[in-house]
Structure 1
Amino acid sequence: MSNIELVKEKLQLKILEIGKKLVKNYVPRWVIFSIDLFLCLIAANSAYFFVSTLQPGGMSFFNFKIELLALLLIQSLYFFVFKSYFGIVRYSSFKDAIKQLQVIACCVFTLLVINHIDYYLFEHKIIVDAGVFIYGFIAYSLLFFFRIGVKRVYELINISRKPLDKAYILGTSVSDVAMAEGLISQNSGFFNVVGFINVDEKKTNNRIFNLPIFDINQLKRFNNYAKSIIVSDSKLKELQHSSNTIITELLELKIKIYKLPQLQDWNHTDFKDLKDLKEINIEDLLQRNPIKLNNKKLFNKYQNKTILVTGAAGSIGSEIVRQLINFNPKLILLVDQAETPLHDLKLELKKNHPTLKFESVIANVRDKSRIEQIFDRFSPQIVFHGAAYKHVPMMEANPLESLSVNFKGTKNLADLSIKHNIERFVFVSTDKAVNPTNIMGATKRAAELYIQSLANKLDNNVLFITTRFGNVLGSNGSVIPHFTKQIKENGPVTVTHPDITRFFMTIDEACQLVLEAGAMGKGGEIYVFDMGSPIKIIDLAHHMIRLTGLIPNEDIKIEFTGLRPGEKLYEELLADKETTLPTHHEKIMIAKATHNFDTSKTTLLLELASNIKANNINLSLNCLKDLVPEYSNPSLESNPVCIIKKAQ
């Protein structure tokens, strides 16, 4: 390569580098306005020049006469009215072309009206009528081609040198076509759009942007053509809430599905989302209707309050903290015994919410004296109690620990809440507390009963509220992280039983409902959340394997290991003897219990706490069985009956 060619190549690379730096920043609006006005100046002089060539006086230009100033002022007025210079030029679309046409048409019409008024009064015109039309044509052409030119230069600068992956657009609705237009015009750097997928059963031979429209059966016949599909967030939600199975069929074809979130205003967006394409995950496939919160009520309950959250470093507790931030609490107390997760949450809050007032406190809910120190020092007004042991098999092997944390820890918090006269106490329970078959569920049910016993006391001013929901997607120790780990290790994916089902809810949804229920409670209620339909765990495993582009039982084996101790096939949200009452929130119901808190029941609660404190496993378990008679567990000894101390 010669020196001249080398210098030429370096110069081209330098220009390309400068161009890329320029296009990363947006040009100020006043610059676009100035350019548009300059183009109109050229159009006006050009129109006057063309008109003058037809007159005896010969060729001439406007120069800077008063008529030219009047024309530019009128044009500027319509620039301001229509805000045609507000859009980002590199993302100009058909809407921008229409807006420019409106601007010029209004200006032309106004000039014609002024011309006739001026001629009627003074026998004078700014420019002859023919010149007005010529001006409009030239001005619109210049404005239009300026935007097209900038857009094309931007595309050339950003064009990828590597071959792009071929991709389809899922759907043919107006929003789907708009998404495709943006991706095509953007040269997204990732995908080359090669067609559309029709989600309806009706066949069509039409084309969009000269690209073919396929149906799912055609993809099955030539599934090597493209291996990616792009779907908008709204389309994905629409398909999930219908009976359409196209997503599952696409996953079975090993086609990767990418989600483009929240494209709302294609004319004014900065199109950042076009480069934010993400593969869909299992949470996307299990989407539910968005939560509508009574924010006014929540602000009234939580604003400017000192709020204590136990288990704050856990998946549920940390999300409750994040949700509470929206309601401007005075102080949030983060209480947890897990040092490292609590430290991580502290760093997150300092980074994302530097003005938030919070305290990180290492403490165990079993240690009543330590918890009382926290109450004495900070005087919390509201308590969200989420600290608990929740792993069913682990708790079956360590029943006293489950009792100590889930029941005794809850009792400590509740007793101290009464002593310090807090406003409301929100207890986070679980669907496993309904007709429990494991120690974890039974201990949570016992805690529910203790909370209700306190709520029934006439001399109690604390509002005790219980919330009950099922499994949370992606929470610590849940099935989804477990399956993800197994898939990364090439299997096998272990499922306990082919018919096992569970209710699922997203973390943010569950925590929003906890806050809503906590605000609406009058005391003593057990709030049950609408968990939707139960999901078969085997279907969940199939979906997660397909999302990685693999085929269940071909690429990744699924094995059934049998139900674990204390595990049941189907979870319930309501006990058999309970009914539900509606609330003002469609996803929150009240479980109306029929329990009678007589002296023996209250004594059982106290006896259970005493046996836990004495580390007496057998007596504790038998007390638990008497307290929660619906608790059935084959591993529980059946011969001794809890000895109840009679009231003196």
Structure 2
Amino acid sequence: MTDALSLGLLRLSRRQKVALMIAADLLALPLCFACALFLRSGNLELVTRYGPTPALVIAACTIPVFSLSGLYRTVVRYFDLKVLWISGLSLACLVGLTYTLSFLVNDSSLPRTGLLIYWFIAFSYVVFSRFIARALLHRSQQRRNGLEERNIRRVAIFGAGEAGFQLAVAMRSSAEYRAVCFFDDDAALDKKIFADLPVHHTRTLHEQLQQRAIHEVVLAIPTLSSGKRRHIIDLLHRHGVSVRTLPTLLELVDRKITVQSIRDVKVEDLLGRDAVPPREDLFAKCTFRKVVMVTGAGGSIGSELCRQIATCEPQRLILFDHSEYALYAIEQELRQRYPDLLIAPHIGSVCDATAVSAALRGQGVDTIYHAAAYKHVPLVEGNMSEGIRNNVLGSWTIANMADHFGVQTCVLISTDKAVRPTNVMGASKRIAELAFQAAAARPNTRTTFSMVRFGNVLGSSGSVVPLFRKQIRAGGPITITHPDVIRFFMLIPEAAQLVIQAGAMAKGGEVFVLDMGKPVRIIDLARTMIEMSGLVEKSRKNPAGDIEIKVVGLRPGEKLYEELLIGGEVTPSEHARIMCSHEPRLDEAELQERLDRLFLACESRDELEIQIAVQGLVPEYAPYCSMDSPRRKPTPDPQEASPTLQLAFLRIGSRKRAVADGGADIEHASMPRSNEVT
């Protein structure tokens, strides 16, 4: 009978449901008033004395009050307690007003003594009737959708706190989840009742998971540190249960916790290191109401830099990238999210001084973030001349242009692979650092140059996480280069914030590095991602598993581990989690001479000569291949190079030469256009 009643209620139209609620209230409210009089006298004397008229009058006045308070406009299945409180307060105002008027006119036809009791009984009726109706409608909705008890996901909530309480309450009206218990590592809460659910200590985790047939555990502690979060997720995974989580406190901001707040566990949750919080004073120093330029604006780091800068209300944001599509994508995103932001997109290569100069001229640029680079180690290793040209020549161009146009701050995005590099990509980034160090040491420069060095960025193009996701979706195998490879990891927004803050702290020539905590073993990351996908690793011990992890050997130039410092000399900075490293540098004249040799080697495209020239600039560079096996060719004479390359060497870093040509534009007296050197 209950099922028939609930299904009948669900089939009614919205108008019919409202009419039914009003009709029920018209019948029930007079009875509520009669009950109030009965409770007042303890017998039926007052009820018979006053008759039905007062009860009908007060009920007729109550219906409009409920209507004005929104009681009949609210969908019963999604009833909000706020509406009940407003209805109760409105009814209290009606009772108070009626009592006052009756007292002032001394009207004895209305029993004033029962009005307060009527308010209590009528409000109780409204609450219970709406909750009963909601339960019936919810039951019928489940039946109609075929969601039987066995199809509802039985969920345990990890964390008996405020967030867990809100989630448990939200699940009561969910047709998909049913909370059955809490887990918490606080022994004082063991076997207590919280939000009408039992709380179990984590030591009974395995036992309770089996007894209660729990399908999923939701981690509901937004304030949890990253290390503790990773420990708990690993613990739950070892018990073979699916794990999801609520957003962190930073992600939640002020949003209310609902069932929709539950999300899958992301790799970011497993870093084991808390994100470095930005300092507001540093974050806005070089961006607030400044003209800012980002090179490589369409890349992973560059685009996130643009997003972070846009939140600081810059005067203008100049986007510079050689990829038309990447530039278009970030421009459209920023225009949609920040319609009042002035954006100036420029297509061009950072190796092309003419294009860089055109983007800077007349703009009054205050800050440049140089994120444009080739960063994929094997690709740069197989295309040494182009990798060096883009990473070194591009950085040298940006440094010279920033100096010439009087840019206040210029920040280079570097990498931990620049420390004792075994590959050309890392070595090229170290040479780029040397170029910025040399520019910072110029006696008359008005630009503050600095460098920011960090590890791998999760989710960036070319990183392992997107690759592993793709391999898992394809059914495997996941390929790793060596079981002992370890890497430092950080989040893309965190990396962008570090870059912005470093520029604000710079005095000139510093290399900033982040305290990145403990490194992560790549094989452990792969196994975690397999578990997060609900799959099992396929191995010799478990040949029936889903995804195999296959070791393919180290790639050319790849190291087992990365470092962040060349020397041991580091000092604290203004930011608690950012260090300042004092690295060796080259005098600009010496740097110029060695760059000449490097670019002659790149012009010849002789990989051995390129490696020799790189080692001349970066003594700690130790290439993966033997320097003795190939036949060494003599280093080309700069005087015998092509006229175009000679022009490049003559003008590659000399600010004095660039400015001295009779007041000519800088682009006509600096480095050649990108299509002149191949």
Name 2:159's counterpart in structure 1: 171
Per-residue CA distance 1:44-74 (angstroms, 9 max, x = gap): 96577556964595436558999x99x99xx
Q: What secondary structure does 1:222 align onto?
A: helix
Say whether residues 1:509 and 2:501 are aligned partners: no
User: Which stretch shows the higher mean deviation, 293-302 or 390-399?
Assistant: 293-302
Counterpart AA for 1:137: F
SS in 2 for 1:355: coil
Partner of 1:444: 429
* Paired position in structure 2 for 1:256: 242
In the alignment, is the contact (CA less than 8 A) between 1:313 and 1:341 conserved in 2? yes
131, 135, 138: which is aligned to 2:118? Answer: 135
| Counterpart pick for 1:420 among 405, 408, 423 | 405
- What CA deviation, in whole Å up to 9, does each residue of 1:165-194 have, x standing for no partner? 22222233343133112112x22x322333
CA shift in 2, pair 1:141/1:448, >3 Å: same
User: CA–CA distance in 1 between the matches of 2:354 and 2:604?
Assistant: 17
Label 1:286 to 1:306 Cα distance change in 2 as closer, same or farther (>3 A).
Answer: same
Match of 2:269 in 1: 284
Q: Is the 8 A contact 2:286 2:500 kept in 1?
A: no
Distance in 2 between residues matched to 1:489 and 1:224, nearest whole Å: 34
Structure 2: tracts of 5 or more residues without a match: 639-649, 651-678
Which of 329, 332, 343 pairs up with 1:347? 332
- Given that 1:466 and 1:525 are in contact with CA atoms closer than 8 Å, whether structure 2 keeps it comes out as yes
Task: Answer yes or no: is 1:148 the counterpart of 2:131.
Answer: yes
Query: Partner residue of 2:536?
Result: 551
CA distance in 2, matches of 1:182, 1:242: 26
Q: Does 1:578 align with 2:569?
A: yes
Residue in 2 that maps onto 1:182: 170
Query: Structure 2 length normalisation: TM-score?
Result: 0.75
Structure 1: runs of 5+ lacking an equivalent: 1-8, 28-33
Shift of 1:375: 2.2
Q: 1:291 to 1:430 in 2, by over 3 A?
A: same
1:557, CA displacement in angstroms?
1.4
Q: Which residue of structure 2 lines up, in the alignment, with residue 59 of structure 1?
A: 51
Give, in angstroms, the shift of residue 278 of structure 1: 2.4
Aligned to 1:307: 292
Which digits, 9 at most, give the CA deviation of each residue in 1:501-523, with x for residues without a partner? 10000111111111111222222
**Alignment match of 1:525 (pick from 507, 510, 525):** 510
Deviation of 1:454 (Å)? 0.9
Distance in 2 separating the partners of 1:594 and 1:301: 27
User: Cα distance, 1:156 vs. partner?
Assistant: 4.6
Aligned: 1:432 with 2:422: no
Q: Which residue of 2 aligns with 1:3?
A: none
Distance (Å, rounded) in 1 between the aligned partners of 2:276 and 2:72: 38
When residues 276 and 153 of structure 1 are mapped into structure 2, their CA distance, relative to the original with a 3 A threshold, is farther
- Taking a change above 3 Å as real, the CA distance of residues 456 and 178 of structure 1, as seen in their structure-2 partners, is same
Q: What is the rounded CA distance, in whole Å, between the counterparts of 2:500 and 2:211 in structure 1?
A: 47
1:472 match: secondary structure: strand
- What is the CA-CA distance between 1:542 and the residue it aligns to? 0.8
Q: 1:321 to 1:22 in 2, by over 3 A?
A: farther
**Alpha carbons of 1:13 and 1:126: their partners in 2 closer, same or farther (altered >3 Å)?**
closer
**The one of 207, 210, 214 aligned to 1:222:** 210
Q: Residues of 2 paired with 1:400 and 1:313: CA distance?
A: 23
**Contact 1:577/1:593, CA 8 A, preserved across alignment:** no
Question: Equivalents in 2 of 1:86, 1:592: separation in Å?
Answer: 68
Q: Which amino acid aligns with 2:479?
A: T
CA RMSD of aligned residues (A): 4.7
Q: Deviations over 1:97-136 (max 9, x none)?
A: 8x68996999899999x99xx99x9999998785254134
TM-score by length of 1: 0.79
Number of aligned residues: 606
Who is 1:6 aligned against? none
In structure 1, what is the Cα distance between the partners aligned to 2:376 and 2:273? 26
1:628 counterpart (618, 621, 629): 618
- C-alpha distance in structure 1 between counterparts of 2:532 and 2:488, whole Å: 21
The change in CA–CA distance for 1:347 and 1:636 in structure 2 (over 3 A counts) is farther
Moved more, 365-374 or 246-255: 246-255
Does the 8 Å CA contact 2:216/2:243 hold for their aligned counterparts? yes
Q: What letter matches 1:534 in structure 2? A: P
CA distance in 2, matches of 1:334, 1:301: 16
Confirm whether residue 192 of structure 1 aligns to residue 175 of structure 2.
no
* 3-state SS, counterpart of residue 413 of structure 2: strand
TM-fit CA distance, 1:640: 8.3
Distance 1:575 1:594 in 2: 9
Check whether the contact 2:36–2:121 (CA below 8 A) recurs between aligned residues: no
Give how far 1:635 is off: 2.5
- Going from structure 1 to structure 2, the CA distance change for 1:502 and 1:323 (only over 3 Å counts) comes to same
Is the contact made by 1:299 and 1:327 (CA closer than 8 Å) also made in structure 2?
Answer: yes
2:646 is matched with which residue? none
| Alignment CA distance shift 1:14-1:158 (3 Å) | closer
Distance 1:343 1:598, change over 3 A: closer
Alignment match, 1:5: none
Distance 1:269 1:495 in 2: 40
Is 2:37–2:114's contact at 8 Å kept on the other side of the alignment?
Answer: no
Identity %: 30
Offset at 1:317?
A: 0.7
In the alignment, residue 597 of structure 1 is paired with which amino acid?
D
Secondary structure at 2:457's aligned position in 1? strand
Three-state SS of the structure 1 residue aligned to 2:361 is helix
Retained in 2: the 8 A contact 1:108–1:136?
no
Cα distance change on mapping 1:148 and 1:513 into 2, 3 Å: same
> Hey, what does 2:662 align to over in structure 1?
none
Post-superposition offset of 1:219: 3.2
Deviation at 1:483, TM superposition (A): 1.2
Check 1:408–1:228 CA distance in 2 against 1; reply closer, same or farther (3 A cut). same
String of CA shifts for 1:388-436, please: whole Å, max 9, x gaps.
Answer: 1111122222221221011111001111111111121111000111121
Distance 1:285 1:84, change over 3 A: farther
Cα offset for 1:346?
3.0
Deviation at 1:379, TM superposition (A): 4.8
Deviates more, 1:285-294 or 1:506-515: 285-294
3-state SS of 1:569 partner: coil
Distance 1:211 1:64 in 2: 43
Seen in structure 2, the aligned counterparts of structure 1 residues 104 and 435 have a Cα distance that, compared at 3 Å, is same
**AA partner of residue 565 (structure 1):** P
Closer/same/farther in 2, CA of residues 635 and 149 from structure 1, 3 Å limit: same
